[in-house]
Structure 1
């Protein structure tokens, strides 16, 4: 079946090597993160949002139509070939993603159209087989494991992480000795790698897997909140107006235009340790004070939801909600007035 043509198709575009350095070849993930962190490449490295994925799908379909490809011929001629053989195709795809590295563009593109995608829910037998394969071959998800599981490499890797995080660890209250060991292991990892900790590493190295990765991560977030000495919320205590103002100030400083762009897990520093989950829930709660916040327009429709991102089940179109700066400015104004009134 020929990929259906659209009225938005345009004439062919100029070919040749991309102008952007991060679009010319497939770089490894570590280099991409390093370049982005140093602001050498003005790109995003986080999770792709729904708008980006939809734009990628439309772009690939348009380029395939120009080449008169069917879905099957596209898979055979593009997806099964190494990048060096079809680099012009992927360079053309990348033109619509100036803020993404070519590595991630190709990876998401292949994943979206892989015939092994959407194989349904994982069974206990598949989980057992996956663990055995990793034990035998290591983390070779992109080669040996994906072929034997008949699933995509990303699906296999994601499922493996889920299984490992679900493993039953030691139960009961954490001791002071365990907390100190957790701190020491995380410090050791950051010294060696200079990145956020790998919870699998922490679980294995520090606790010989007696405390699973999920437990280690949860405990570390708790410790960070408890050790905060700058007046922020500790543990599961109430969020103060000062906490709310610090949260809003950080969001305002980020300059994000849409709410789904706010990286709630990256707002923390030594003076602000409110967890990602609590930052997000607190922002949603504050947003309710703005009249009419629940009525968010979607292609002429209205959806009543108090969440950051919402897919309309009928159309799968991402809701585009108010510009962040307007919301935050109003919330900051009212929070500061409340704080002043409490001081009087």
Structure 2
């Protein structure tokens, strides 16, 4: 069992992430060419606090008011961004690119955030705004009165092609079509089955009968693991629970919001998507009475005892066949594997005993 550990620190990379504005394709290129390690996905509760502290420190150090900080955060002229501010607060969250911090902080401090459920009237205004302005989300936001990212997501996931959209249970034909499209875009091109999928393209190829969000959820929660298990629907087992607990334990995080669930699967244990693993973890955590008032370490101590031994059924090592997408030739038939591309390593000394070969 390969256990993910902390990535080695690299001061040059850390400085680059905090000072150089790079888009996703440039970051991906540096991952391949320079071994850059950076964090993606949701910011953890600890990162949120680190950013708040960094912003308060910046404000206090320069004698700024709350309104002046908001003016810096929401500078209307993109080219007029205060790079000193953004670089300084980005250093507070190691391995986060400055562009990710920029967008995250602007969402977190946006006066229009968390406005609740969209109304039919707002949907109508949004639809007309896109007709008039195109997908210029900042301008659309001003007309609709919602955050630009909320407008973008609402339009893509619920408004675009709504007249073509099918709801309700998926037919067998739809499932087969989705599976074919995803495998053609990934395995047959040597790409990752869960991480290299552009769901807008998938929805387009399905004639927009199912939206990008519908396709992503159906694949992640249902079809992905069946494809990886050669057509058989796998069931979560005590062995899986054991492996998950010990992998989470090896991460040595301070809070489970820090976990990058994409790093947990490995070549011998990759049926479950990042989303599935996170849900399974939450189920186990919530099974502990009083977990709401416990620290992550206290919860970890209890689960480590409950899952101290590998279940007997695994003694025969009844392995599922799991194959990395990268190892499948373009012409080869679809076999298997499992949300990023960080390399897993075994930490020097894990807090729990680990069994290999699972």
Q: What's the TM-score, normalizing by structure 2?
A: 0.66
- Cα offset for 1:208? 0.9
Map 1:125-140 → 2, pairs under 5 A: 125-140=121-136
- Cα offset for 1:273? 1.8
- Cα offset for 1:26? 1.6
Matching residue within 79, 82, 93 for 1:86: 82
Map 1:99-118 → 2, pairs under 5 A: 99-118=95-114
Q: What value does the CA root-mean-square deviation take over the aligned residues?
A: 3.9
Q: 2:222 aligned with 1:226, yes or no? A: no
1:228–1:273 contact (8 Å) kept in structure 2: yes
- In structure 1, what is the equivalent of residue 332 of structure 2? none
Structure 1 pair 287–66 and aligned structure 2 pair: CA distance change class (3 A): closer
Structure 1 pair 284–69 and aligned structure 2 pair: CA distance change class (3 A): closer
**C-alpha distance after superposition, 1:222-275 (max 9, x if no partner):** 233333438xx954x753333334444554565655433334455446753234
- Cα offset for 1:20? 0.6
Map 1:137-156 → 2, pairs under 5 A: 137-141=133-137, 143-156=138-151
Structure 1 pair 139–32 and aligned structure 2 pair: CA distance change class (3 A): farther
Structure 1 pair 32–217 and aligned structure 2 pair: CA distance change class (3 A): same
Structure 1 pair 247–254 and aligned structure 2 pair: CA distance change class (3 A): same
- In structure 1, what is the equivalent of residue 36 of structure 2? 41
Structure 1 pair 90–47 and aligned structure 2 pair: CA distance change class (3 A): same
- Cα offset for 1:185? 1.9
3-state SS of 2:277 partner: helix
Structure 1 pair 327–85 and aligned structure 2 pair: CA distance change class (3 A): same
- In structure 1, what is the equivalent of residue 309 of structure 2? 334
Find the aligned partners of 2:127 and 2:262 in 1 and give their Cα distance: 30
What are structure 2's unaligned runs of at least 5 residues?
A: 1-11, 319-358
1:22–1:101 contact (8 Å) kept in structure 2: yes
1:251–1:328 contact (8 Å) kept in structure 2: no
Query: Greater CA radius of gyration, 1 or 2?
Result: 1
- In structure 1, what is the equivalent of residue 158 of structure 2? 163
1:182–1:216 contact (8 Å) kept in structure 2: yes
- Cα offset for 1:154? 2.1
- Cα offset for 1:29? 2.7
Report how many residues are paired: 297
Matching residue within 40, 43, 48 for 1:53: 48
Q: 2:67 aligned with 1:72, yes or no? A: yes
Structure 1 pair 279–25 and aligned structure 2 pair: CA distance change class (3 A): closer
**C-alpha distance after superposition, 1:148-191 (max 9, x if no partner):** 22332223223334425995415555234x33432332234334
Q: 2:216 aligned with 1:202, yes or no? A: no
- Cα offset for 1:90? 1.8
Find the aligned partners of 2:125 and 2:251 in 1 and give their Cα distance: 44
Q: Which has the higher contact order (CA 8 A, sep 6+)?
A: 2
Matching residue within 283, 292, 297 for 1:322: 297
Q: What's the TM-score, normalizing by structure 1?
A: 0.69
- Cα offset for 1:101? 0.7
3-state SS of 1:72 partner: helix
3-state SS of 1:20 partner: helix
- In structure 1, what is the equivalent of residue 211 of structure 2? 212
